[in-house]
Chain A
Amino acid sequence: MATVGRAVGVFPRPGFFEYLWSWLTTVDHKRIGILYGLTTTAYLLVGGLEALLIRIQLAHPESRFLDPDTYNQIFTMHGLTMIFLVAMGYNATFFNLVVPLQLGARDVAFPRLNAFSYWGFLFGSLLLNLGWLWGQAPGVGWFAYANLTSVQYTPGLGTDFYVMGLQVLGISSIASALNFLVTIINLRAPGMTMFKLPVFSWMTLVVSVLIITAFPPFTVGLIEVMFDRLFGTNFFNPAAGGNPVLWQHLFWVFGHPEVYILVLPAMGIVSEVLPVFARKPLFGYPFVVFSGIFIGFLGWGVWAHHMFAVGLGPVANSVFAITTMLIAVPTGVKVFNWLGTLWGGHIQLKTPLYFAALGFIAPFIIGGVTGVMHPVVPSDYQQTDTYFVVAHFHYVVMPIVAAFFAGFYYWLPKYTGRLLDEGLGKVHFWLFFIGTNLTFGSQIIVGFLGMPRRNYTYPAGLGWEPWNLLSTIGAFLIGLSVVVFVVNVLKSLRSGQVAGPDPWDGRTLEWLTSSPPPVYNFAEIPVVRHRDELWARKYGAHGERVGAHNPPNPGSELQIHLPRPSYYPLVAALGIAIGFLGAVLIRPAEVGGLGPLGWAVVVLGALITVGGLYGWAFEPAE
């Protein structure tokens, strides 16, 4: 029965190991969100470094800065890191930090499962990167097309680290998505019906549905690659009648919903930030919600537009072309809703709004317009495998990164208690904005000039040099902007302006409680009557001021039951990662594995997992 009477207010200063232990065993969604945020930011730096290495290599024709094999590993790991570790990681960061507070809940539905998701994310990401130690990181592209992944063509351990690392990350993602689904379904504050649910939480719900449905086909695809590599099965072995195109389908059945898994939370962040800094409600809330749902639904029916060049035939190509064009409609609806939100608002030009409006919406439209060119199949035949495609999807993902930055400038003060610096924030924004457009604007042009992607170098004299050089310069500006961001966060932690509970005059429940919030979030669970509940409490539903919000009431702290810290989630996640590491090590000694001894590691991992799960199941939760 852990109660919080002692823990709030002034901490009795614990020793370092007690402090460390409290983080290793934490089940508090806010702490888990901070762990996700720190881990992910580390990977942002790693993935960014990989991007800079790519750009240094491509700055000049015929460069020998990287050899082809290293280049393959670096561009593969850049993609994997940015998608699975940075975008998915920041998604999980914001889910954890924001959703329970927006719902008016004390925590997620399953706090220990939440801790398990984080540790699975950490160990899975380490496993994915472990190949560097062997000098054999995955080098087959993030899509890992069969049968390049068969032992015949990639005998090294890199592909095994790809398969096993992503399996662990998949388990973590599914666990986290299940948890947030239950949380949003079941832990909304009294009175918060689904159409009073804040948009970010709505998008979390849609994304979680996508994760639990789209990851299993990928899991199956990875299992098939694993069996082909470890046990000599024939899934993708043409000599036995296997069809490598099946992998492409399983991959893109997952891969396209994954694109929406990445972008919908960003759209949620933008939909939270714009109303606050325009000081008026989100324009057309039901349209934003339903177009989000529609995007998630349609996202399931467009996967083969990644495969037009495979030769699926005119019928399949036409079907997927039409569904792909359709998806532009709900996306456009959202853009107009955001514009409608800003229109006529009392615009507060703060850093979060810079990132949300200029950093997200504007470049995202370029990403969308270049995207809608691809479903025109004959045109796609020309664009496929050129830098035009690279530019297109970076014009989709860089706005996502901008939305994350908007989220950090907006929400971080809630958890640190201190605002970020506005001046540095604007420097950060302009460097990022100019850098992004320089880097990927150049790539649109060089793509039209026919430069193929994934090649480690290119010949001189084709008119590609100036654009590549510009692109590299832009990439360094983006890198610099991230440094400014990190400096800004550190500065804010040391000497930032104290935020107070509600620095932006917010609209939703997270601004009701103190900054940082107490471990139990709300002393009293709020009762919700309005979509913008806090705004209505402050200004009345129709604009008249009715008084300030209630600070947490310390008198009722002692009655709040909190989930007890637990190390079993960490143990279970560690066991799973060790088990999958063992599955990598089953590969023969000639390529760096342990051979049959790898099975011992698998068994060890399995035992640790089972032990962790049993301890978990039988320990009292509070």
Chain B
Amino acid sequence: MAEVAHAEHYTSTGIDHRKVLMWLFLGSECLFFGSLIATYQVYRGQSLVGPHPHEIFNIAYTSISAFVLLMSSLTMALAVNSIRLGNLPATRVWLLLTALQGSIFVGGQVFEFTTFVAHGLSLQVNLFGTTFFVLTGFHGAHVTVGIIMLFSLLFASVLGRLGPAQALTVEIVGLYWHFVDIVWIVIFTVVYLLPY
């Protein structure tokens, strides 16, 4: 990731290349998740057979895991804050907490999927199963990638390769992480909470 870590380098806008890259990438990701959500919405309530969403959702359970992911954004922001202030121990703690909350979310999703499958909702059984698993599954995959990046940062810090000079790297991983969180804010509302 040290692509442009010259001792001194010029950018036309004064913003680091990697940060511009990440924001552009997230813009692109908006269209990716937008298209998945559009598919979900076009097929909303079009299933010919059950199980239907209201028969199978456990809103209390999913609310808690959504809340955990939301709070992981707080710890991520605090990690960025800490490394900017040069507080490496605190950075590690916040990164670890973020990764753990992410893992709880993904674990919760795996459990939820298993429960749904046990109740007869599979990828193949109806349009709801098809669109639900693909949309939330791709989100879960994004969270997993984020967790891997967080653990990579922690690993780098154990090797002594994470210091205030890498604050921007942490910030960029943070941008990705927050994005994954806001996607879930939308999915949670659209898929789980909006009345069918």
Give A residues with C-beta under 8 Å from B: 109-113, 174, 178-179, 181-182, 185-188, 190, 192, 212-217, 219-221, 223-224, 227, 231-235, 240-243, 246, 250, 253, 525, 561, 563, 617, 620-622
Contact = CB atoms under 8 A, between A and B. Distances in A.
Contact of A110 (B12, B17, B31, B46): B17
| Most chain B CB atoms below 10 A, which of A188, A240, A253, A620 | A240
Nearest to A616: B1
Contact of B42 (A215, A233, A246): A246
Interface string B33-57: 0111001001100111000000000
A241 B24 contact: no
A110 B21 contact: yes
Contacts, number: 119
B11 A187 contact: yes
B26 to A, nearest CB: 10
B194 interface: no
B127 A617 contact: no
Nearest to B148: A610
Given A188-B12, A212-B27, A182 B6 contact: no
| Most chain A CB atoms below 10 A, which of B17, B29, B36 | B17
The 6 closest A-B pairs by CB, nearest first: A220-B35, A216-B32, A216-B31, A212-B28, A233-B130, A217-B35
A220 B127 contact: no
A109 B11 CA distance: 9
Contacts of B20: 181-182, 185-186
Contacts of A190: 10, 12
Given A235-B130, A242-B43, 13 more contacts: A109-B17, A110-B21, A178-B25, A181-B24, A185-B12, A220-B32, A227-B123, A231-B124, A235-B39, A250-B35, A620-B2, A621-B3, A621-B4
A125 B134 CA distance: 27
A196 to B, nearest CB: 11
19 contacts: A178-B25, A186-B12, A186-B13, A186-B15, A187-B11, A187-B12, A213-B27, A215-B28, A217-B32, A231-B123, A233-B134, A234-B124, A235-B39, A240-B130, A241-B48, A241-B127, A563-B3, A617-B152, A621-B3
B127 A234 contact: yes
Contact of B28 (A109, A178, A192, A235): A178
Contacts of B13: 185-186
B103 interface: no
A557 B48 CA distance: 70
A620 B161 CA distance: 12
A219 B127 contact: no
A232 B2 contact: no
A109 B4 contact: yes
Contacts of B27: 212-213
B12 A221 contact: no
Nearest to B32: A216
B35 A227 contact: no
Nearest to B5: A621
Interface residues of B, number: 39
Contacts of B5: 621
Nearest to B25: A178
B81 interface: no
A178 B23 CA distance: 10
B83 to A, nearest CB: 18
B39 A192 contact: no
B24 A178 contact: yes
Nearest to B31: A216
A233 B124 contact: yes
A509 B127 CA distance: 56
A184 B43 CA distance: 40
| Most chain A CB atoms below 10 A, which of B24, B29, B46, B47 | B24
B126 interface: yes
Nearest to A221: B35
Contacts of B46: 241
B21 to A, nearest CB: 5
A219 B32 contact: yes
A187 B6 CA distance: 14
A227 B127 CA distance: 12
Contacts of A213: 27-28, 31
A617 to B, nearest CB: 5
A111 B2 CA distance: 12
A220 B12 contact: no
A190 B10 CA distance: 9
A43 to B, nearest CB: 26
Nearest to B152: A617
B47 A212 contact: no
B122 to A, nearest CB: 9
A110 B3 contact: yes
A235 B2 CA distance: 41
Contacts of A188: 12
A514 B19 CA distance: 33
A240 B48 contact: yes
B31 A243 contact: no
B2 A621 contact: yes
A182 B35 contact: no
Contacts of B29: 216
A254 to B, nearest CB: 9
Given A110-B3, A181-B24, A250-B35, A240 B127 contact: yes
Contacts of A240: 47-48, 126-127, 130
Contacts of A212: 24-25, 27-28, 31
Nearest to B2: A621
A352 to B, nearest CB: 29
| Most chain A CB atoms below 10 A, which of B11, B31, B32, B124 | B31
A186 B17 contact: yes
Contacts of B10: 187, 190, 525
Given A185-B12, A233-B130, A234-B127, A561 B6 contact: yes
B24 A234 contact: no
